[in-house]
């Protein structure tokens, strides 16, 4: 108990909340991660605070991050730091970040970023969402600290809009993955997705946000598709940030979709949000993590931090649910994913499912991946054909016997 | 033949000479002896052993894990079929280990395709699995359920570990300390020859005390006339309090070997420089070294970061260490000169007398 208390005191000392900035003057920014912006903008702006959005992740942004961070750190940190610097230069004075101590180097991100930015001479207040201490309480406290918003209706409006937007954009993405390989006119699905991205971004009422999901589904239904086409399914899994951020993974989903492959992604932002923010007693069905622990039982007896157990469990799950191949992506020198990479080779052998690991870092070129992905997809397609022929032969044999 | 082999090795537990061996072996020794088992250690690390280990794992895996796999294979080839591979998850609330060390049994189970019995207890204080549970778990996996026996074994383990710690804190080298501790002896501190320079090496035990991995860095430094302090010479309390004094929080479970030692000696002004030794691609080390580098540059203390992997050549390694030591000597000389601590030897008799007069005057 004493230890716990000590640690809490230490933490409070380190993340001293800066109360000198009035809520009116606050300009909030946060690091980019895929479509996280849509939900957060809706939430924070409805609480009445100004927002600065850092420019999208590009090579130039990454260069800024690489320049200011240490050599051995992983890709997500470099991108996050670049986002911070660019936002601060645009005039932000409050940075938001969530962290989960005890998983991997991720727990040290805010601490390091704070140090680096102070060294560079910026003045700011960093608000940290500590996801492991208490979920909803911490989140509300952090928002209260930033906004000083007393009006409960505004909180309701913000959270409702944020959640609905997150669900809508994720539904759109799911449908995009389904439609892209099957579409008759190339580019239809992509266009539809981009249109809805814009609409979801601009919708600004609670009721409108609630309707979004249905509208998205209806609109995607109208795209002409070839329903009989045989499409191989690939499961995309790995490290959380690289999975969600289209810049970090070099738009691997688009590459796969254009090759005529249906992508199923391990986790969506909204799933994760639900998992993190919902109190555990509200869960009635099996959560994603529990499912993974169940499936990974044969290979792993304990959770070892990071997303190792999810990666392994989902690979086994994929092999048992009619998925033809698994692509495992991770940033360079990611500790948990190296462990899962070691384990996955055995899983691949025993569960009879092709697995390919791709490692991303700042020197990644797209061309090198293209060939590797194409070769892998060829393999997956051939395997699918083979199994189909085998099944047909079996059927014929059965019929002949009858 | 095979039957004989299993009978011989029935009562023997294999402990790979890697990772947690370098921190906890004295305890393991006492504990297993108390339970009535004999211990078989793997051989010394060699290049062949590393190559063998790295055949089994993915190339991105760090060197210590490759070495660990190599040692396990070595034990299996010796005919040992019970191997102790603990999973040390966290040593205090939310103070976790590196993922690879946490998942050692998982890696070994999935990477090595041979049948053997793996003793894999878990220590995880974040989830309320205490050290006592860890010991009981070990004993249960070895089919020992007698509580008295286990308690006695734990006590015996602690007594040997305490002897070991007492000796290392007094400054006895690691290998001698382990040797004497196992013989249940305490040897007092040898007479220390004062050396002109002293350096603290911040590195994990499994990197530093493995002579193949660290290329016997400590011995090389001693040959150059440099006293090397390590994490073993600092007690846990001192290490934690000095980290706190620097304004940091202990985040990694095995952090005390690195930041603790470096912070302690840095704050006490006992050393002239810091050498950081870490394996290539080590996640925690990259952060810890950066942390210390930040404080060292604030204090104006020279620091060198050596990165090692399985291809590191000894020649390049030595040159860097020598250059660093040369630089330290020059720096120290300059500091002493500036503070007028070195007296220029008087060249003539006249000067000598003049100086004497000066002294008398000043004393009066």
Domain closes at, from B123, B154, B181:
B181
**Looking at the predicted structure, is the pLDDT value of residue A126 above 70?**
yes
Domain boundary among B181, B201, B226: B181
Could you tell me the residue range of the domain that residue B161 belongs to? 2-181
CB contact under 8 A, A333 and B105: no
Report residue B257's pLDDT band, with 50, 70 and 90 as the boundaries.
confident
Q: What is the per-residue pLDDT across A337-383, written as a single tens digit (0 to 9) for each? A: 999 999 999 999 999 999 999 998 877 777 888 899 999 999 999 98
Partner residue opposite A304 with nearest CB, options B57, B60, B99 = B99
The predicted model gives B61-73 an average pLDDT of: 93
Could you report the per-residue pLDDT of A312-346, keeping only the tens digit for each? Answer: 999 999 999 889 999 999 998 888 999 999 999 99
In this structure, how many other beta carbons lie within 10 angstroms of the beta carbon of residue A231? 16
- The pairs formed by B178-181 with CB atoms below 8 angstroms and a separation of 24 or more are B178/B25, B178/B26, B181/B26, B181/B29
Asked whether the predicted pLDDT for residue A73 surpasses 70, the reply is yes
- Using CA atoms, how far apart are residues B296 and A15, in angstroms rounded to an integer? 23
E strand or H helix at B308: strand B303-308
Is B286 a member of any domain? yes
pLDDT at residue B321, rounded to an integer: 93
Check residue B3 and give its pLDDT.
46
What is the mean pLDDT of the segment spanning A82-88?
93
B68 inside domain: yes
Q: Which of B:239-258 have CB within 8 Å of A?
A: 244, 247, 249, 251
CA distance A232 to B352: 95
Same domain membership, residue B244 and residue B316: yes
User: Do B196 and B176 have their domain in common?
Assistant: no
Report the Cα B242 to chain-centroid distance in Å.
18
CATH of A231-397, one of 3.40.50.11900, 1.20.120.450, 1.10.10.10, 3.40.50.11060: 3.40.50.11900
Q: How far apart are CA A256 and CA A201, in angstroms?
A: 26
Q: Do B94 and A101 touch (CB under 8 A)?
A: yes
Nearest-angstrom CA–CA distance, A211 and A165: 10
B18 in the same domain as B162: yes
Are both B86 and B224 inside the same structural domain? no
- What is residue A139's predicted lDDT score, i.e. its pLDDT? 75
Q: For the whole model, what pTM was predicted?
A: 0.89
Task: Give ipTM to 2 decimals.
Answer: 0.87
* Per-residue tokens: A247: 């810049």
Nearest in space to A333 (alpha carbons), one of B1, B274, B269, B63: B63
Query: Which overall architecture, per CATH, does domain A13-148 show?
Result: 3-Layer(aba) Sandwich (3.40)
pLDDT score for A344? 93
Separation of alpha carbons A29 and A81, rounded Å: 12
- Residues of chain A contacting B92 with CB distance shorter than 8 Å: 3
- Among the candidates B136, B157, B181, a domain finishes at B181
B261 CA: distance to closest CA in chain A (Å): 20
| Among candidates A3, A105, A300 on the partner chain, residue whose Cβ is nearest the Cβ of B106 | A300
Q: What digits encode the pLDDT tens for the residues A198-255?
A: 999 888 888 988 999 999 999 999 999 988 888 899 999 998 889 988 888 888 999 9
| Three-state secondary-structure class, residue B14 | strand
Distance from C-alpha of A98 to C-alpha of A202, rounded to nearest angstrom? 25
Give the pLDDT of residue B2. 44
Can you list the pairs that A138-147 forms with residues at least 24 positions away whose Cβ atoms lie under 8 Å?
A139/A277, A142/A96, A143/A43, A143/A44, A143/A47, A145/A17, A146/A23, A146/A26, A146/A28, A146/A44, A146/A47, A146/A49, A146/A94, A146/A96, A147/A23, A147/A26, A147/A44, A147/A47, A147/A48, A147/A49
CB B213, CB B63: distance < 8 Å = yes
Rounded to a whole number of angstroms, the distance from the CA of A214 to the nearest CA of chain B is 42
Same domain for B231 and B87: no
How much is the pLDDT for A38? 87
Q: Looking at the complex, does the CB of residue B171 fall below 8 Å from at least one CB of chain A?
A: no
pLDDT greater than 90 at residue A307: no
**Residues A106/A99, Cβ–Cβ less than 8 Å:** yes
- A309, A337 contact by CB (below 8 A): no
- The pLDDT score that the predictor gives to residue B1 is 40
Cβ neighbours of residue A67 under 8 Å, at least 6 residues apart?
none
B352 and chain A in contact, CB less than 8 A: no
Task: Say yes or no: B139 and B162 in one domain.
Answer: yes
Together in a domain, B140 and B264: no
* B364 pLDDT higher than 50: no
Average pLDDT over residues A273-296: 77
Poorest-confidence range of A93-97, A279-283, A322-326, B326-330?
Answer: A279-283
- Interchain contact A266–B (C-beta under 8 A): no
List chain A residues with CB under 8 Å of B60.
332-333, 338, 341, 359
E-strand stretches of A1-93: 27-29, 50-51
Residues of A in contact with B109 (CB under 8 A): 299
Tell me the Cα Rg of chain B: 24
Per CB-CB distance under 8 Å, the chain A contacts of B244 are 10
Residue B131 lies in a domain: yes
Residue B327: its pLDDT value, please? Answer: 94
Q: Examine the domain organization and report whether B201 and B322 are in the same domain.
A: yes
Residues belonging to chain A: 402
B233 and B116, same domain (yes or no): no
Q: Hey, are the CB atoms on A112 and B290 less than 8 Å from each other?
A: yes
Whether the Cβ atoms of residue B279 and residue B309 lie closer than 8 Å to each other: yes
B261 and B302 in a single domain? The answer is: yes
Residue B348 lies in a domain: no
Question: pLDDT digits over A17-69, tens only?
Answer: 666 777 778 888 999 888 888 888 888 888 888 899 888 888 898 899 999 98
The better pLDDT of the pair A361, A192 is held by: A192
Of A11-20, A155-164, A192-201, A275-284, which gets the smallest average pLDDT?
A11-20
∠ CA B70-B73-B78, rounded to 5°:
130
Per the structure, the count of domains in chain B is 2
pLDDT of residue A37: 86
Option in B96, B106, B285 nearest A339 (CB) = B106
Contact A177/B at CB under 8 A: no
Three-state DSSP at A137 gives helix
Flag whether B186 is in a domain.
no
Which chain B residue lies closest to A349 (C-alpha atoms)? B110
Hey, is the C-beta of B102 within 8 angstroms of any chain A C-beta?
Answer: yes
C-alpha dihedral over B156, B161, B162, B164, to 10 degrees? 130
Residues A73 and B97: beta-carbon distance below 8 Å? no
Domain at B209, CATH number:
3.40.50
From the list B301, B312, B250, B242, the residue with the least C-alpha distance to B277 is B312
Query: Looking at beta carbons, which residues of chain B come within 8 Å of A105?
Result: 283-284, 287
* pLDDT tens digits along B296-335: 998 899 999 999 888 888 888 899 999 999 999 999 988 8
Write down the mean pLDDT value for chain A: 85
> Whose CA is closest to A256, among A274, A273, A232?
A232
CA distances from A162 to A206, A213, A226, B323 (A): 9, 13, 34, 58
Handedness of CA B140, B142, B143, B148 (dihedral sign): negative
Contact of B131 with chain A, judged by CB distance below 8 Å, is answered with no
Q: What is the pLDDT of residue A5?
A: 65
Mutate to test the interface with B, among A110, A342, A351, A361 (most CBs of B within 10 A): A342
Is the Cβ pair B61, A359 closer than 8 Å? no
Retrieve residue B13's tokens.
């537990």
B:1-60 residues touching chain A, CB 8 A cutoff: 57-58, 60
- Between chains, do B294 and A115 touch, taking CB under 8 Å as contact? yes
Reported as a pLDDT band with limits 50, 70 and 90, residue A159 is confident
- Please state, in angstroms and rounded to a whole number, the distance separating the CA atoms of residues A333 and A69: 15
Does one domain contain both B242 and B271?
yes
- Whether B349 maps to a domain, the answer reads no
Structure tokens at B278: 């870490």
Residues B156, B104 within the same domain = yes
- Residue A165 CA to residue A19 CA, distance in Å, equals 31
Euclidean distance between CA atoms A276 and B14, whole angstroms: 42
B217–chain A Cβ distance below 8 A for any pair: no
Calpha distance A310→A238 (Å, rounded): 8
């Amino acid at each position: 108990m004493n230890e716990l208390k000590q640690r809490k005191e230490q933490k409070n000392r380190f993340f001293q909340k800066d109360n000198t900035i009035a809520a009116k003057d606050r300009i909030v920014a946060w690091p980019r991660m895929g479509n996280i912006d849509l939900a957060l903008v809706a939430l924070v702006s409805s609480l009445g605070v100004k927002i600065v959005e850092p420019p999208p992740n590009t090579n130039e942004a990454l260069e800024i991050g690489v320049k200011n961070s240490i050599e051995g750190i992983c890709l997500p940190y470099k991108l996050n730091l670049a986002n911070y610097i660019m936002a601060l230069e645009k005039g932000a004075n409050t940075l938001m970040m969530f962290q989960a101590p005890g998983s991997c180097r991720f727990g040290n991100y805010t601490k390091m970023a704070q140090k680096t930015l102070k060294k560079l001479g910026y003045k700011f207040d960093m608000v940290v969402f500590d996801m492991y201490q208490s979920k909803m309480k911490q989140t509300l406290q952090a928002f209260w600290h930033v906004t000083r918003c007393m009006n409960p209706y505004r909180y309701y409006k913000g959270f409702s809009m944020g959640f609905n937007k997150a669900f809508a954009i994720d539904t759109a993405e799911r449908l995009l993955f389904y439609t892209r390989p099957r579409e008759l006119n190339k580019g239809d699905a992509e266009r539809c997705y981009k249109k809805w991205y814009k609409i979801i971004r601009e919708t600004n009422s609670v009721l409108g946000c609630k309707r979004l999901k249905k509208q998205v589904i209806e609109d995607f239904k109208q795209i002409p598709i070839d329903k009989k086409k045989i499409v191989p399914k690939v499961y995309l899994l790995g490290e959380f940030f690289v999975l969600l951020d289209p810049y970090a993974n070099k738009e691997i989903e688009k590459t796969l979709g254009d090759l005529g492959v249906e992508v199923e992604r391990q986790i969506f932002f909204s799933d994760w949000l639900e998992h993190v923010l919902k109190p555990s007693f509200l869960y009635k069905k099996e959560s994603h993590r529990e499912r993974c622990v169940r499936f990974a039982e044969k290979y792993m007896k304990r959770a070892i931090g990071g997303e190792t157990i999810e990666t392994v469990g989902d690979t086994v799950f994929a092999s048992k649910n009619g998925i033809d191949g698994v692509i495992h992506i991770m940033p360079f020198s990611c500790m948990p994913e190296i462990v899962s990479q070691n384990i996955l080779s055995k899983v691949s052998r025993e569960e009879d499912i092709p697995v390919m690991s791709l490692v991303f870092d700042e020197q990644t070129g797209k061309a090198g991946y293209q060939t590797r992905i194409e070769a892998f997809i060829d393999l997956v397609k051939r395997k699918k054909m083979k199994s189909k022929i085998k099944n047909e032969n079996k059927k014929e044999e059965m019929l002949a016997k009858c | 033949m095979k039957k004989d082999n299993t009978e011989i090795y029935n009562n023997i537990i294999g402990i790979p000479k890697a990772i947690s061996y370098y921190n906890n072996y004295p305890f393991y020794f006492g504990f297993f002896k108390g339970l009535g088992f004999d211990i078989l250690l793997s051989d010394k690390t060699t290049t062949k052993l590393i190559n063998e280990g790295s055949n089994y794992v993915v190339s991105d895996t760090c060197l210590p894990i490759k070495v660990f796999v190599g040692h396990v294979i070595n034990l299996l080839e010796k005919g040992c079929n019970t191997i102790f591979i603990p999973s040390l998850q966290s040593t205090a609330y939310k103070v976790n280990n590196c993922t690879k060390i946490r998942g050692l049994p998982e890696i070994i189970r999935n990477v090595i395709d041979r049948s053997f019995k793996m003793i894999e207890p878990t220590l995880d204080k974040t989830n309320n699995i205490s050290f006592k549970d860890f010991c009981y778990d070990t004993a249960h996996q070895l089919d020992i359920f007698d509580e008295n026996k286990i308690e006695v074994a734990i006590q015996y383990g602690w007594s040997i570990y305490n002897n070991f710690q007492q000796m290392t804190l007094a400054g006895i080298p690691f290998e001698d300390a382990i040797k004497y501790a196992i013989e249940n002896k305490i040897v007092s501190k040898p007479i220390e020859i004062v050396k002109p320079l002293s350096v603290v090496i911040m590195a994990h035990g499994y990197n530093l005390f493995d002579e193949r991995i660290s290329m016997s860095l400590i011995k090389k430094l001693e040959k150059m006339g440099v006293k090397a302090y390590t994490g073993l010479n600092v007690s846990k309390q001192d290490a934690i309090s000095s980290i706190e004094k620097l304004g940091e929080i202990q985040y990694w479970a095995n952090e005390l070997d690195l930041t603790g030692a470096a912070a302690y000696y840095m704050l006490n002004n006992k050393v002239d420089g810091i050498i950081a030794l870490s394996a290539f691609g080590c996640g925690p080390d990259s952060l810890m070294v950066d942390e210390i580098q930040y404080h060292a540059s604030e204090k104006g203390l020279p620091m060198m970061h050596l990165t090692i992997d399985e291809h590191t050549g000894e020649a390049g390694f030595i040159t860097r260490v020598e250059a660093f030591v040369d630089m330290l000597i020059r720096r120290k000389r300059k500091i002493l000169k500036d503070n007028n601590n070195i007296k220029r030897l008087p060249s003539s008799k006249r000067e000598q007398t003049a100086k004497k007069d000066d002294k008398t005057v000043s004393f009066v």
